[in-house]
Structure 1
């Protein structure tokens, strides 16, 4: 089971979380719109993947958020997501691939 923590704006949370939870091999451990809270939870929960939805207005400056997440030095896969950039099902495909790769190990 691939565990995921999601940083997403309130207005997009329902849609994005439901898309992620549609993947049987994936479990959303936590989600929040607050950058500091998301990074604190990542340090404690150690998810397999940290999804940062940069299209969310409340996630702040995308470059800063991604830099802070990388600076944690966590083993989590960092996935930067923005609707409208890349294929519409790209996030689902990437998480599915990560879950299957994890299961194969």
Structure 2
């Protein structure tokens, strides 16, 4: 006595589905593609982006009602530049303090170089 029926075994019952070849299953419907949200390099934010190097940008943006100066590395994700984890977001107050220290920072760079 076989333990498993083979795929070729046909049921000899009187069901109406045995009257002809099995119909082909309907083709699967493709899910509609969702529109992806534009990356930060595209759209309105691009007006406020300034390149520092090939993958480093300064972006002035608004987040939760606050203006932030975002200094961040971006990466290429299938033709779109997306923000990476490496970076910092400064508030306007922090940015102003950094601006005040630029001369001191430049002097430090000159003494070290």
TM-score after normalising by structure 2: 0.27
Structure of higher CA gyration radius = 2
Q: Whose helix fraction is larger, Structure 1's or Structure 2's?
A: 1
TM-score after normalising by structure 1: 0.28
Bigger relative contact order, structure 1 or 2 (CA pairs below 8 A, ≥6 apart) = 1
